[in-house]
Chains A and B, each alone.
Chain A
Amino acid sequence: MNSQFVPALSETGTALSIACIFLVPLCGAGLALINTGLGRSRSAAHSMLASLCVIAVAALMYFACGFAWQGFAGRPAHVITVSGKAWNWIAVEPFFLRGLQLDGSPASLAVCLQMLSVGLAAMIPLGSGSDRWRLPAICASTALLAGFTYPLYAHWVWGGGWLAQLGPHYGLGRGFLDAGGGSSIQAVGGLTALAIAWIVGPRRGKYSPDGMPTAIPGHNAVLVLLGCALALVGWLGLNSAGAILFAGVAPTAAVLIGVNTVLSASVAALAALMITRMRFGKPDASLVANGWVSGLVASSAACPWITPAAALFIGLVAGVVVTFSIELFEVHLKVDDPGGAISVHAVAGIWGVLALGVCAHFQAPGQWLAQLVGVATLLGFVLPLTYGLNWLLDRFLAQRAPFDGESLGMDVYELGATAYPEFVTHTEDFIPR
């Protein structure tokens, strides 16, 4: 067992944390609109319903067992000793939040934030699996993510786990740092999105027999861009609440966090706009939207510890990298990711985590190595774990909709009604005849 002392929050900190936590659902609303807008019209209602189901299942699973594995710094956890150093692996809280006073203490605020952010992480794979991922499988996969994968990694980062203790135990800077969930929310969700895209395979007609991708444009750019605006508000809350609760920064740092978040998103969106303008002659709305969100994602890990100039740099790189990464996945790696979730959340999330190691304004030798260890854990542990769990799930519960599901659209196939009943032009334009 392990126990660390965690100072209580001031009244201001508590009030600000609560206000910021209650903004976090806007991240989910934004992602839901983006995923829906980037998908086909015949799966729009399914996509929105799936988002609601994901939030519900994730919250229930986190309540039932997620917090029991994740815990909070300073609360009981399993520890093994390696070469005289304690390695904190997993929390040992009671299930169903028993014994936790929901009274505004830091642990109770963390539970509140995590019940919402675990849903956000679980919504990310909806972007890569859209138009062919079945609702029962979505719920089951969400249960696995929210009930085990996410809490385990989040414990290591935010619950006083071994990644957080790399600093005090091994002299690696301040240990692995991630204020707003660039790794634990975004990269975990993004890597799960990759696993889902691999398991369900590409949409019918996405690739020609010779492997060339077919463009299947999103059905509603307005939804996508509205989602970006909502996501910004949510991200301001997410980054601020995470930094106050998990990184222990002063509530006044919310100003710096807000400035950095907005700057990173803005420059990332403009970078994507310029690149698409130069490459295609006109800006591409969906790629600009992806650039915007990638800037938000990249800002998450480092937002309280970087200067605005560094936030500009991080956002610029995120916007450029994500634009090309989406093409890399679609054209060269044959990964059909309609929402760009893998690039936006996994690639930009990992970039943000690494950038903290070199851009942080504090001097802490070894910080870059701690960040590298965190990224190695994402790739070497989280990806195989989430792939393995979803692969096993696929053996028992088919994740992909059958032929009729995709032909009819997920709305009619699984819900029995379409999102836009007035529009009845369900053509097979994108399916080779």
Chain B
Amino acid sequence: MKLAGFLLLLAGWGIVLCAVAWLPSAGVRSGFVLAGLGVEVLGLVLAVRSHLVPHGERG
């Protein structure tokens, strides 16, 4: 789950980069940038959840 979370974060950033580089229309570009951020939020949620598993008393 942790790896999936970080991969989603990277994927979301990739969507944002592609939207900026290749979409000419301001409206569509904004939509895809927001969609990329949405994917990043999903990734962040997964990353957070993967770290919710108790560490126990490490050390």
Contacts and interface: CB of A to CB of B under 8 A. Distances in A.
Contact of B59 (A166, A381, A405): A405
Given A83-B21, A198-B51, A403-B59, A376 B37 contact: yes
A269 B24 CA distance: 43
A335 B51 contact: yes
A85 interface: yes
Contacts of A166: 20
A376 B33 contact: yes
A204 B57 contact: yes
Of the four ranges (under 10, 10 to 19, 20 to 34, 35 or more), the interface on chain B belongs to 20 to 34
Interface string B4-18: 001001111110100
Contact of A376 (B30, B40, B54, B58): B40
B37 A400 contact: no
Nearest to B7: A384
B59 A380 contact: no
A160 interface: no
Looking at A204, A335, A381, the one whose CB has the most chain B CB atoms below 10 A away is A381
Nearest to B34: A372
A394 to B, nearest CB: 12
B7 to A, nearest CB: 8
A380 B57 contact: no
Contact of A402 (B43, B52, B59): B59
Contact of B21 (A82, A372, A400): A82
B6 to A, nearest CB: 5
Nearest to B36: A376
Looking at A170, A375, A405, the one whose CB has the most chain B CB atoms below 10 A away is A170
Contacts of B29: 369
Nearest to A166: B20
Contacts of A207: 54
Interface of B is mostly: helix
Contacts of B33: 369, 372-373, 376
A380 B16 contact: yes
Contacts of B30: 369
Given A376-B12, A384-B10, A400 B22 contact: no
A333 interface: yes
Of the four ranges (under 10, 10 to 19, 20 to 34, 35 or more), the interface on chain A belongs to 35 or more
Nearest to B49: A333
A200 to B, nearest CB: 8
Looking at A166, A376, A380, the one whose CB has the most chain B CB atoms below 10 A away is A380
Contacts of A406: 59
A334 B59 contact: no
Contacts of A205: 57
A345 interface: no
B52 A333 contact: yes
A377 interface: yes
A379 interface: yes
A205 B57 CA distance: 7
A381 B10 contact: yes
Nearest to B48: A333
Contacts of A366: 26
A334 B51 CA distance: 8
B40 A201 contact: no
A373 B52 contact: no
A408 to B, nearest CB: 12
14 contacts: A198-B51, A204-B57, A207-B54, A369-B33, A372-B34, A373-B16, A375-B37, A377-B13, A379-B44, A380-B12, A380-B43, A383-B6, A383-B44, A384-B9
Interface of A: 82-83, 85, 87, 132, 166, 170-172, 198, 201-202, 204-205, 207, 211, 333-335, 365-366, 369, 372-373, 375-377, 379-381, 383-384, 387-388, 400-403, 405-406
Interface of B: 6, 9-14, 16, 20-22, 26, 29-30, 33-34, 36-37, 40, 43-44, 48, 51-52, 54-55, 57-59
